[in-house]
Each structure stands twice: as C-alpha cells, then as structure tokens.
Structure 1
Amino acid sequence: MEQQVIIGIDIGTTSTKAVAFDSGGKALFQFAVEYPIISTRPEFAEQDPELVFTAVLSTLKTVVELVRKGEYQLQGVCFSSAMHSLIAMDENGRPLTNCIIWADARSVKQASSLKSSVIGHDIYLHTGTPLHPMSPLPKICWLREMEPDLFNRTSKFIGIKEYVFYRLYGVYRIDYSIASATGLFNIFTQKWHTDALEVAGITSEQLPEPVPPSFTFRYMDPDCASEIGVSASLPFVLGASDGCLANLGSDAVLPGDAVVTIGTSGAIRVTADKPVTDLGERIFSYILTPDKFVLGGAVNNGGIVLQWFRDNFYGSETEAARKKDEDIFSLLNAEAASIPPGADGLLFMPYLLGERSPIWNASARACFFGIHFTHTRGHFLRALMEGIIFGLYSVGNALEQTMGPVKAIYANGGFSRSDLWVQMLSDVFNVKVHLTNTTEASALGAALLGMHTLGMMEKLEDAGKLITVQRTFTPDPSAHEKYRKSYALFEKLYPNLRENLDDIQHLSGSGKPEA
C-alpha cells in the first residue's frame, strides 16, 4: 500500500519552499526557489508577484515529481505564507502594483498619524495588528493619498497568497490568519472591521472573502494543474500565516510555551485559546484557526544584522572561507564565544533597520554603547549577538505582562544552527530552550493543518505526537545574572536616546523621521 504524503508550501520573503511530509511528519523531499526584493527607493520593498507565482509552480512541480518517483500517494497541499503583503488588482484581475511586502516603509507618515489617534488605538484593539508601515492598512492609506489614480482604478486589494490562489482558481479568498495581520480584520467577530475600512477608504467588496484556514479548493485551472503535474481535483488547503504555523509546527501550544524564530528578522510567539490585545499596543494577536490564536511580536533585526557585520567587518575572512568552502559563521561563533557574557560592558541597540515590536518605530537606529579601549572586534560581535536577543527579550517581557510567564522556548530559524546563540537565548530568558526534529516549522505547520483538514489526523492537537525534541539547552545561572544586569541598562537606552537618534538622522541628511 502506498504511503500517504502531504506537501506543505511556504511562501516567504525571499524564497518559496515546498516540503513533502509523510503521515508521521517526516520530511521526505523539499525544493526552494529564490526571488529578489525590488527596492526602487530606499523605503520601498516589493516583489514581482508573477515571479512568486512561478516559484510556487516550480517548487510544487519538482516536489510532486519526487513524490511520484518515490511511489507515495499525494493527498493534498497546504499553504503557509508571509504576512502583511499588498497588491492592487484591476477589474480584469491584473496587478496594478508589485507586491508591497512587510519590509516596505513608505507609509511611515500614515502609520504614525493613525498610531497617535483615538481611532487608531481602537482599530488596534479590535484587529490585533499594531499600527506600523508593515501592515496593509497604512499601505492602502498611502496609495489613496499618494497614488489616487491608481487607488481609484483598484478593484481588489489582496496579498501574495491570495494572488497565487486567484491564479490557480480564479476567485479571491483570504484565510482568517492572513486577514488578521492586515489591520482591517476584526479578530473577535472574524469579519472585516468597519472602522478600519472607513479609514482606508475602501469597502469590504474590495477585499477577498474571508474563510477559515481549512478552506479547501478542488477545481484548479487545468493549465496550472498540468504544469504542476497533478489532477485538477487534488485538494489545495488555503492554510494560514507563516508565524502562526511555525507555532503549530514547533508544538508550542500549551500555556507558557513560546517559539523564538531568528532568520532574517525575528519573532517570539505564544498560543492562546482567545484573542488578546495589549493597551500599550506592543504585541500582535493573530488567528491560527477560528479557536486558536498566536500572540507575540516580530523584530526587524535578526540574522540580517549579523550578516551586515560579517560583510563589513569580516570581509577578508569571508572571502577566504568561500575559497576553502568553509563556513564563515563557524569563525564568527568561535570569536564571539571567546568573549564572556555581557561583552565586558559593551551593549548593542540592534535597530539597524528601524524596529517593529515592542517600540514600533520604523525610524529607530542602532548604536553601540560603552565602547572602551580594551574592546576588540570580538567584543563588538558578541555584543551584537546579545543585542539581538535583548531585543527579543524586550518583546518577551511585553508578552509576559499580557499572557503570563514564558516557561519554555522552542527555537527555530537559521540561528538555531548556532549552539552559542541558542545558549545565549536560554541564558537571557532563564528558561530551557528546545530544538525539535524540523527546521522548517512553517512548512510542517502547514502540512499538519492540511493533514487535519483532509482527514489524515483526527484532531489538530494530535500534531504534537509527530514532533520530537532533539536537543535542550539549560540556562547557566551565572551567565543569566550577568545578562540581567546588562539588560537593565539596555532597556533604558532607547527611551533615553530616541530624541538624539532623531537628531542624528537629521544631521545625516535623511530628514526628521515621522514615527
């Protein structure tokens, strides 16, 4: 009898990856296709939606061929996707814009104006999406103000996953999970939020129809089905957002369980049985399923900061490592490990690319503090790695004030390959950190949701049986004490320096920021 498999596909910021899992949650085959971020102006960050759609077809086609050669029985496909994207579509179903992604900062002015208003605060309390240039609400406001002709020609405002499914099935549908990250969706009623629509200047008819993440399509465009190599009737489950599915794919579903992801950016998230918002507007509250919610915060500055430091301060070593086919990050880890916790009093405020949670200031900037004659390049590297963790810890503190203490962390993302960095996370939070049997948590989460939807798994809660902890890092009390003292100073830096950071931007010629 052929073994049943399901494909989880994750549409990400820089690539799309398809992974085939068997019914036991084991990854059998995977394939990824990369695509560029388009930045025609410093504050713009876009993708070509057609390139993303082509990547979806290509990754699926490759993995489907591998599944067929392995003589497995493909049951269906379920999707994960990055949040906060926006595409304006005309009445004929053609894009009027590129896909404006979460990293786009053009709507700083609109987000700032909303954030400082009474109606903006009320919208956050109903939608659970912090008011920031990342989300579609201020992006739509920007289009209305800055591109009125284009805005008036727009028939539908959608995201990248909705574009993919429109190309495959010819209808506009959005899952509750992606909808809950738009700033336009009421997470309590699970309908489009009237006040947010009024602020955006649009109607609900200009948005896709919201449906549960389990919503399943079965009648694909024949040409697309032929290109992928599947029957047009193969079930395609709409799925949810990448962050929410990463919690499911990490089995972080109990009170006190948190997931920390550090890839290009970073996030800390917990799962709850009801939506919760924060009067301080520091955290998000997104939908995983109609009765499961994921709360937390995302930071802009994760592994991309380490990459920046590598490229600018380890240039010759990086080139030498490439010639020898060696891993430059092994060298970086070794050098950082030679410096004691706390980096001998050197602190790094990691807002190299502005920041989302908990300060929600797209114009924030980074800085090293406490530089001394005795500090070496290794100290700066260590302080940088610690600063990224401190940034996540500040989000964790806001989350704990809302949801209660974090008791255990499940780590994933590229940083989980660094024992030093994972141990640092354990020491700062003073809790155990677990690594599970998959590094593709979002794709696995999509597959698990698909298994439940398609009857391969009786209860979604059974997903935990397919996930095992392979390694656990335990906090070092002496290191935690050093970090406790360092963090006490770290958390004062941004409030004390904010006005000066605004001034330094003005001196640099970038102008006075507005958020």
Structure 2
Amino acid sequence: MKNKYVIGLDIGTTSVKAVLFDLIGQVISEKEIEYPLHTPREGWAEQDPLEIEKATIQVIYKVIHEKNIDKYQILTVGLSCAMHSLICMDEEGDPLSPSITWADGRSMDQAERLRNERLGIDLYKKTGTPIHPMSPLMKLMWMKENQYTPYQKASKFVSIKEFLLYRWFGQEVVDYSVAAATGLFNFSELTWDQTALKLAGITEEQLFFPKPPSHVLYGMKKSISEKIGFGKDIPFVIGATDGPLANLGIGAIEPGEMAITIGTSGAIRQMTQQPKIDSKQKTFCYAFTDQLSLVGGPVNNGGIVLKWLKDLLGSNTDYDQLTQLCSNVQPGAEGIIFLPYLNGERAPIWNPQAKGNLFGLTIRHGKEHIIRAGLEGVVFSIYHVSEALEKIVGQGTKLYASGGFARSDLWIQILADMFNQEIHVPQSYQSSAWGAAWMGLYSIGEVSSLSEIKPYIPMKSSCLPNQKHHEIYKERFAVYKRLNETLSPLYIM
C-alpha cells in the first residue's frame, strides 16, 4: 500500500512555501518561490496578487512532482498565510488593487488619530487588533478618505488567501484568524463589527463569511487543478494565519507554552482559552477556533536586520558565515546596543515612525561587534514584547523557537540566555506549514484533536541558558528600554 501524505501551504510576505509531510511530521519535500514587494511610494508596501497566485500553483506542483508522488497519495492541503493583507476585488474575482501588506504605512495618519480617541480604545477591546497601519481597517479608512479608485469600485475586500480560494473554489469564506487580524472582527461574538465597518465605509456584504479553521473546501476548478497536477476533489482546508499555526505546528498550545518565531519579522505568542487584551494596547488577541484565541505581539524587524547588515557591510558570505564572524564576541557586544527599528515597529511600542539606532560605538569596534549587536537587538525587541505579554497571561513555562532564525545556534543561544529559559527547537523550522497540515488532517477526520500533534513534532534539540550571560543581558536590556523611552519623542511623527 502506498504511503499517504499531507501538504502544508504557507503563503508568506516574501514567498510561498509548500511542504510535503508524512503523517508523523517528517518533511518529505519542500519548495519555496519568492515574489517581490513593490514600494511605489515611500511607506507603501504592495504585491501583485496574480503573481502570488501563479507562484502558489507552481510551488504545489513542484513539491508533488519532485518526489513523483501520486496525486491519490495526498490526503489534504492545509493553508497558512501572513496576516493583514488587503485586496480590492471585483465581482468576477479579479484584483482591482495590489495586495497591500502588513508592512504598508500609508494609513499612518488615520491610525495615529484613531489610536488616541476613545473610539479606538473601544475598538481594540472588541477586536483585539491594535490600532496601527498594519490592519486592513486602517487601510480601508485611508482608501475612503483619499477616494482610492479601487476601493470605490470594489465588490469585495479580501486577504490574499481569500482571493486565491475564491478564484479556485468559488467560495466566499474567511477563517477566524484572518478575519480577526483585519480590525473589523468582534473576537467574542465571532462576527463582523458594525462600528468598525462604519468607520471603514463598507458593508458586511463586501466581506466573506467567517468560518472556523477546520472548514473544508472541495471541487477545485478544473483549470486550476490541471495546473497543479492533482484531482479537483482533493480537500483544501481553510486553516488560519501563520501565527496560530506556528504555535500548533511547534506544540505550543497549552497554557504557559510560548512560541517565538523570527523570520523576516518576528513574534511571541501564546494560546488562551479566553480572549485576553492589554489595557495599553501593547499586544494583540486574535480568534483561532471557537475555543481558542491567540495572544501575543509582532515585531517588524527580524531576519531583515541580518539581511540589512549583510548588505551594509558588503559581505559576500552566507548568513551562517556572517553569524560565525561574531560568535567570539562576548554577550553585550562590548557595549553596543542596537535598536532594530529599521522598518518602524509594532509591539510593544506600536510606532511606525520608530528608527533604528546603534548606541555605544567606539573606534575599536569592528563589524563583528555590530553583527552581534544586531542579533541581540532583535531578541531584545522580542523580550520587550514578552514583558507586556506576561502581564496578561503570566510568565511562559516552556519556550519553543521556530522560523529561519532557529537554524542559527548562536541566535538560539542568545534567546535562551536573554530569557534565562531552555529553548526547544524542532527539526523543521516550517512550523506554520506543519500546523496547517495538521489542521488539514484534523479537519478531514484523520486525527481526533489538535493537541494530538505533540508526539508528531520531530524535535532537534534544546538549548540551555547561561546564567552569567543572562545577568549581562538583564543589565543591557535596562539600557535598551531607557534608550527606547529617550529616543521615542525624537522620531518624526
């Protein structure tokens, strides 16, 4: 009898990944196709939805045919996607606008105005989405106020995942977590919020129907299934956003279990059985299932900091060699502190105008010290979010790491030392894809619960903290926070 497989499809900000798993969580094949981010004006961040659709079709085809997998061996495809994208779409399912990503800052003025009003605070309490240019609510307010032509002509307003599934299956459905990340969704009632809709200037009929992440889609259009290379009756499971699925895929689903993900950006998150919000709007709270919510905070600057350093320093080495260059630098980077706000910042300061800063440079410092400070600065930003998160959910009892940074032993050691906790690392850093795949298996009845995933997560190792290093980071983090507070009023608003 032939083996059975499941595909986790992760539609990210810079690329789409398809990962073929066996039923015990081992990666059989994985493929990735990148697509560009367009910045036609300062602060804008857009992508071509049709280019992403083409890449998504190609990546599924490649991951299947690389291993000569029979289409009947595929049980299901589970979907994951990045949060906060927005597309203006016509009645035929064609895009009227680019896909505007979470990194787009054009609605900065609208966000700043609403964040300081009582209405903004009330909306955060109902939706769990901090008032920030990342959210589709803010983007829609900008469109309304600026008479954006695609907005005026649109039949529907959708995320990139909704866009693809509508074009492939003809269904107007959106999972809870994608809906929650819009800023338009009441996380307690699991319905569209009328106050938010009024602010956005749209109606409920212009949005898709909220569904749990276990919703299954059948009957893919023949024109699409032929391009992908398998039958139109293979079930696609709507899944969720990459945040909750990364938690699921790494096993961080019980109280006290926190997942730290660093890819291009980063986040720290915990599942809760009840929605929990922060009175100062420092964290988010998004619905995941009927019983589970995701609480946490995202940072804008993760692996993008290392890429910037690589480009800035003119290094021809790869990332492993780059981090190796600073491996002998002592914790604290010999006095350098890096505020990593190259792309503004979200949690916990929620300031799109924040700027990166190198503090403490002397003539004796070399590029190895700057690289080390960059790695530490990214983890400082995650630790900064954890302080706000702990106030509403308590201290994490078990920490998991996922995302591209988990391939770096040095970066994981910095994380362990800063948090002063053991860090658990899976074999595959594609935790969102495995979470999506497991959600697929759960939705078609192959497994009986989400929590059953834990024994099926192949773990690579764990990393223990160094107490001496932790004391250094504790001292340096206090300086990091003081710098943040001192410089914040100087950012141009």
Per the normalisation by structure 1, the TM-score is 0.93
CA distance in 2, matches of 1:183, 1:159: 13
Matches within 5 A, 1:246-265: 246-265=246-265
Residue 141 (structure 1) aligns with: 141
Q: Residues 25 and 458 of structure 2 are in contact (CA less than 8 Å); yes or no, is this contact kept in structure 1? A: no
Does the alignment pair 1:388 with 2:378?
yes
Aligned in 2, Cα 1:30/1:353: closer, same or farther, shift over 3 Å?
same
Cα shift readout 1:275-324 (whole Å, capped 9, x = no counterpart): 111111011112222212211111111111111111111x1x41xx4xxx
CA distance in 2, matches of 1:247, 1:296: 11
Residue 72 of structure 1, CA deviation:
6.4
- 1:456 is aligned with what amino acid? E
CA distance in 2, matches of 1:170, 1:87: 16
Matches within 5 A, 1:146-295: 146-295=146-295
CA distance in 2, matches of 1:151, 1:72: 42
Residue 500 of structure 1, CA deviation:
2.2
Matches within 5 A, 1:2-401: 2-66=2-66, 69=69, 73-313=73-313, 315=314, 317-318=315-316, 321=317, 328-401=318-391
Secondary structure of the residue aligned to 2:19 is strand
Residue 371 of structure 1, CA deviation:
2.3
Farther-moved stretch of structure 1 (328-337 vs 210-219): 328-337
Q: Residues 297 and 357 of structure 1 are in contact (CA less than 8 Å); yes or no, is this contact kept in structure 2? A: yes
CA distance in 2, matches of 1:423, 1:72: 43
Residue 70 of structure 1, CA deviation:
5.9
Residue 67 of structure 1, CA deviation:
6.0
Residue 123 of structure 1, CA deviation:
0.6
Aligned in 2, Cα 1:334/1:62: closer, same or farther, shift over 3 Å?
closer
Q: Residues 364 and 501 of structure 1 are in contact (CA less than 8 Å); yes or no, is this contact kept in structure 2? A: yes
Does the alignment pair 1:402 with 2:362?
no
Q: Residues 6 and 21 of structure 1 are in contact (CA less than 8 Å); yes or no, is this contact kept in structure 2? A: yes
Q: Residues 114 and 131 of structure 2 are in contact (CA less than 8 Å); yes or no, is this contact kept in structure 1? A: yes
Residue 474 (structure 1) aligns with: 464
Cα shift readout 1:7-28 (whole Å, capped 9, x = no counterpart): 1101111111111111112111
Residue 455 (structure 1) aligns with: 445
Q: Residues 23 and 456 of structure 1 are in contact (CA less than 8 Å); yes or no, is this contact kept in structure 2? A: no
Secondary structure of the residue aligned to 2:93 is coil
Farther-moved stretch of structure 1 (142-151 vs 272-281): 142-151
CA distance in 2, matches of 1:472, 1:149: 52
Farther-moved stretch of structure 1 (188-197 vs 146-155): 146-155
Matches within 5 A, 1:471-510: 471-502=461-492
Q: Residues 71 and 231 of structure 2 are in contact (CA less than 8 Å); yes or no, is this contact kept in structure 1? A: no
CA distance in 1, matches of 2:14, 2:55: 11
Q: Residues 5 and 72 of structure 1 are in contact (CA less than 8 Å); yes or no, is this contact kept in structure 2? A: no
CA distance in 1, matches of 2:121, 2:137: 13
- 2:129 is aligned with what amino acid? T
Secondary structure of the residue aligned to 2:288 is strand
Farther-moved stretch of structure 1 (133-142 vs 408-417): 408-417
Q: Residues 93 and 163 of structure 2 are in contact (CA less than 8 Å); yes or no, is this contact kept in structure 1? A: no
Aligned in 2, Cα 1:468/1:501: closer, same or farther, shift over 3 Å?
same
Aligned in 2, Cα 1:2/1:305: closer, same or farther, shift over 3 Å?
same
CA distance in 1, matches of 2:120, 2:302: 28
CA distance in 1, matches of 2:223, 2:356: 49
Cα shift readout 1:88-127 (whole Å, capped 9, x = no counterpart): 1123332110100111111111111111111111111111
CA distance in 1, matches of 2:370, 2:30: 37
Residue 188 of structure 1, CA deviation:
0.7
Q: Given the alignment, which residue of 407, 412, 429 partners 1:422?
A: 412
Secondary structure of the residue aligned to 1:348 is strand
Secondary structure of the residue aligned to 1:488 is helix
Secondary structure of the residue aligned to 2:326 is helix
Q: Given the alignment, which residue of 440, 451, 455 partners 2:430?
A: 440
Residue 46 of structure 1, CA deviation:
0.8
Aligned in 2, Cα 1:35/1:149: closer, same or farther, shift over 3 Å?
closer
Q: Residues 268 and 296 of structure 2 are in contact (CA less than 8 Å); yes or no, is this contact kept in structure 1? A: yes
Q: Residues 10 and 79 of structure 1 are in contact (CA less than 8 Å); yes or no, is this contact kept in structure 2? A: yes
- 1:446 is aligned with what amino acid? A
Q: Residues 212 and 288 of structure 2 are in contact (CA less than 8 Å); yes or no, is this contact kept in structure 1? A: no
Query: 5+ residue gaps in structure 2?
Result: none
Residue 332 of structure 1, CA deviation:
2.4
CA distance in 2, matches of 1:31, 1:331: 24
Residue 509 (structure 1) aligns with: none
CA distance in 2, matches of 1:217, 1:334: 46
Query: 5+ residue gaps in structure 1?
Result: 322-327, 503-512
CA distance in 1, matches of 2:91, 2:404: 41
Residue 66 of structure 1, CA deviation:
4.4
CA distance in 2, matches of 1:4, 1:428: 42
Aligned in 2, Cα 1:67/1:193: closer, same or farther, shift over 3 Å?
farther
CA distance in 2, matches of 1:24, 1:276: 33
Q: Residues 220 and 232 of structure 1 are in contact (CA less than 8 Å); yes or no, is this contact kept in structure 2? A: yes
Q: Residues 12 and 81 of structure 1 are in contact (CA less than 8 Å); yes or no, is this contact kept in structure 2? A: yes
Farther-moved stretch of structure 1 (53-62 vs 162-171): 53-62
Residue 395 of structure 1, CA deviation:
0.3
**Percent identity at matched positions?**
42
Aligned in 2, Cα 1:465/1:500: closer, same or farther, shift over 3 Å?
same
Q: Residues 435 and 470 of structure 1 are in contact (CA less than 8 Å); yes or no, is this contact kept in structure 2? A: yes
Aligned in 2, Cα 1:375/1:65: closer, same or farther, shift over 3 Å?
closer
Residue 324 (structure 1) aligns with: none
CA distance in 2, matches of 1:214, 1:175: 9
CA distance in 1, matches of 2:327, 2:203: 55
CA distance in 2, matches of 1:349, 1:149: 38
Secondary structure of the residue aligned to 1:289 is coil
Q: Residues 248 and 450 of structure 2 are in contact (CA less than 8 Å); yes or no, is this contact kept in structure 1? A: no
Q: Residues 25 and 444 of structure 1 are in contact (CA less than 8 Å); yes or no, is this contact kept in structure 2? A: yes
CA distance in 2, matches of 1:358, 1:153: 36
CA distance in 2, matches of 1:76, 1:465: 20
Residue 475 of structure 1, CA deviation:
0.7
- 1:42 is aligned with what amino acid? E
Q: Report the number of matched residues.
A: 493
User: Runs in 1 of length 4+ with deviation above 4 angstroms?
Assistant: none
What is the root-mean-square deviation of aligned Cα atoms in Å? 1.5
Q: Residues 2 and 71 of structure 1 are in contact (CA less than 8 Å); yes or no, is this contact kept in structure 2? A: no
- 1:89 is aligned with what amino acid? M
Q: Residues 67 and 74 of structure 1 are in contact (CA less than 8 Å); yes or no, is this contact kept in structure 2? A: no
CA distance in 1, matches of 2:102, 2:336: 31
